[in-house]
């Protein structure tokens, strides 16, 4: 898995390889603008959690972040791509709404998240803390890099959609995520330092080729919520879910880094999140969710849905990782 370090000055990562007819047609349309993208009907029959749809959606979403080398910046809002992106989103969102509980309150959802389970059989953090091997930690970091190298970026989209107490609290948390004014403390940079300790390529998006669909879905869902004002409640729910569950998991992962000798920067990344996210968890529940629902109480089901959808997708990724590792196999895509 070790690769030459990617030049960060590149305009963007390289276009990944397709995983089916849908992603192949999307990638061909990006590389050759004269080629029409696939029709919306082709998205209707795709597996909403499958490799083909998730890669196609990931690629379209990345146009809103760093883009891809060789793809023009103005493709971000290309009208020819928007109907397909919408169809992919509806397919994915429809599956999430069908697969997570409906009509839950925020108190019900977060009440469950605040109680750490005593059954650790499905916990990746517990596995890595107690029995994970260094190669598994490296795989975990490679997959998580698809988000952590842009940590907090998707959540920034909700800021102009909030007001008052919710906005002030959200900005305060994001300020911490972006290093509190110090470039070396930006959490994305701290994760790049972790990757360097582990001998991984620190290039943005480098490991997309190795990321299976469950890992792509975890990243895609936050962009799905972030790009749509109508889903602002779901994005707040997603963000709160991440902050509420981060501190206990980070504590276990920091211990995994110590136990395996992963390196000081690797340990520091998770140790930093133990303390920071314990504080953020209080602020996000009291002021971000509290402020949002004081202003817009009708969004409470959306907040719960965002958190429950996050838990659902994280559980799918955990199942994928643990099944492979317990069989002594790599959890990364091969090729």
* Confidence at residue 250, expressed as pLDDT on a 0 to 100 scale: 92
* Confidence at residue 120, expressed as pLDDT on a 0 to 100 scale: 79
Give the largest CA-CA distance in the chain: 56
- Has residue 16 been placed in a domain? no
| Per-residue pLDDT tens digits for 258-302 | 999 999 999 999 998 887 667 788 899 999 999 999 999 999 999
- Has residue 3 been placed in a domain? no
Confidence of residue 10 (pLDDT cuts 50, 70, 90): low
Question: Are 197 and 293 contained in the same domain?
Answer: yes
Question: Are 257 and 177 contained in the same domain?
Answer: yes
Q: Residue 131's CB: how many other CB atoms inside 10 A?
A: 12
Cα–Cα distance, 300 to 223 (Å, whole number): 20
CB 213 within 8 A of CB 145: no
* Confidence at residue 237, expressed as pLDDT on a 0 to 100 scale: 97
* Tokens at 107, concatenated: 């108190």
Question: Are 306 and 220 contained in the same domain?
Answer: yes
- Has residue 199 been placed in a domain? yes
| Per-residue pLDDT tens digits for 14-59 | 999 999 999 999 999 999 888 888 888 889 899 999 999 999 999 9
Q: Which of the pair, 114 or 239, is modelled with greater confidence?
A: 239
Domain boundary among 53, 76, 97: 97
Question: Are 276 and 176 contained in the same domain?
Answer: yes
Cα–Cα distance, 136 to 113 (Å, whole number): 26
Question: Are 139 and 230 contained in the same domain?
Answer: yes
- Has residue 121 been placed in a domain? yes
Question: Are 291 and 212 contained in the same domain?
Answer: yes
- Has residue 9 been placed in a domain? no
Residue 8 has pLDDT above 60, yes or no: no
Question: Are 38 and 140 contained in the same domain?
Answer: no
Cα–Cα distance, 330 to 298 (Å, whole number): 44
Domain boundary among 97, 122, 149: 97
Question: Are 59 and 156 contained in the same domain?
Answer: no
- The pTM for the full model equals 0.94
- Has residue 269 been placed in a domain? yes
Question: Are 173 and 31 contained in the same domain?
Answer: no
- Has residue 10 been placed in a domain? no
| CATH value at residue 201 | 1.20.910.10
**Residue bearing tokens 């300790």:** 197
Question: Are 273 and 294 contained in the same domain?
Answer: yes
Give the count of domains, the chain.
2
* Confidence at residue 278, expressed as pLDDT on a 0 to 100 scale: 72
Domain boundary among 65, 97, 129: 97
Question: Are 41 and 143 contained in the same domain?
Answer: no
E-strand ranges in the chain read none
Domain span at residue 47? 21-97
* Tokens at 220, concatenated: 């895609």
Question: Are 35 and 153 contained in the same domain?
Answer: no
Dihedral, CA of residue 117, residue 247, residue 99 and residue 207, to nearest 10: -120
The CA radius of gyration of the chain, in Å to the nearest whole number, is 19
In the chain, % helix, strand, coil (3-state, to 5) comes to 70, 0, 30
Non-local (6+) Cβ contacts of 109 within 8 A are 237, 303, 304, 307, 308
Q: Residue 40's CB: how many other CB atoms inside 10 A?
A: 15
């Amino acid at each position: 898995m070790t690769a030459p370090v990617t030049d960060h000055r590149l305009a963007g990562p390289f276009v990944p390889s397709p995983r089916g007819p849908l992603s192949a047609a999307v990638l061909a349309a990006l590389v050759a603008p004269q080629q029409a993208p696939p029709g919306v009907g082709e998205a209707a029959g795709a597996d909403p959690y499958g490799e083909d749809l998730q890669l196609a959606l990931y690629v379209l979403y990345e146009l809103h972040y760093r883009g891809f080398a060789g793809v023009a910046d103005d493709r971000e809002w290309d009208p020819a791509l928007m109907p397909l992106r919408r169809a992919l989103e509806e397919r994915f969102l429809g599956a999430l709404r069908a697969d997570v509980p409906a009509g839950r309150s925020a108190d019900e959802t977060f009440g469950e998240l605040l109680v750490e389970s005593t059954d650790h059989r499905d916990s990746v953090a517990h596995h890595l803390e107690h029995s994970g091997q260094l190669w598994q930690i490296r795989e975990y970091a490679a997959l998580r890099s698809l988000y952590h190298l842009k940590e907090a970026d998707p959540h920034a989209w909700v800021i102009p959609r909030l007001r008052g107490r919710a906005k002030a609290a959200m900005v305060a948390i994001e300020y911490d995520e972006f290093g509190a004014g110090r470039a070396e403390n930006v959490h994305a940079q701290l994760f790049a330092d972790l990757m360097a300790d582990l001998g991984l390529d620190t290039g943005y998006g480098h490991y997309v080729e190795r990321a299976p669909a469950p890992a792509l879905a975890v990243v895609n869902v936050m962009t799905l919520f972030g790009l749509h004002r109508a889903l602002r409640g779901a994005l707040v729910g997603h963000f709160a879910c991440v902050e509420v569950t981060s501190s206990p998991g980070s504590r276990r992962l920091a211990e995994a880094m110590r136990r395996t000798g992963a390196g000081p920067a690797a340990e520091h990344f998770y140790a930093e999140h133990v303390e920071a996210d314990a504080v953020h968890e209080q602020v996000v529940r009291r002021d971000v969710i509290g402020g949002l629902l004081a202003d817009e109480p009708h969004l409470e089901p959306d907040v719960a849905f965002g958190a429950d959808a996050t838990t659902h997708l994280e559980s799918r990724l955990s199942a994928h990782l643990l099944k492979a590792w317990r069989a002594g196999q790599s959890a990364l895509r091969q090729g």
